[in-house]
Amino acid sequence: MTRPCASASLAGLRAFDKAFEQRLRAAVARGELPAQANASTLARLASALLHSMALRARAGDSRASLRAMAAAGIALICGEAPAQSAPGALRRRAK
């Protein structure tokens, strides 16, 4: 038997996955991702990565570690080889 709280959490995760999936399908349609990319699986991977990063951030993981994790996740999802060391790869531009 599933608990109501767990069911609500799962529904929220699925909605989040669906939003990622729609964006990834659009990227495939525009040629930003390979035609054979599995948008559903990549969406769940992106969602899992984001949730893991949120937990790690709350637990006190360093910005450098989180940025490296984000860069590797993006590279994995987009089909690129991750850079060996990219601590400043995701730095925001100064305005």
Structure confidence at residue 38 as a pLDDT band (50, 70, 90): very high
Decide if 73 contacts 48 (C-beta within 8 A): no
Q: pLDDT value at position 1?
A: 58
As a whole number of angstroms, the distance between CA 54 and CA 48 comes to: 10
As a whole number of angstroms, the distance between CA 22 and CA 6 comes to: 24
Residue spans of the domains in the chain: they are 4-78
| pLDDT, mean of residues 38-47 | 95
As a whole number of angstroms, the distance between CA 34 and CA 27 comes to: 9
- Chain segment 65-83, per-residue pLDDT in tens: 999 999 999 999 988 755 5
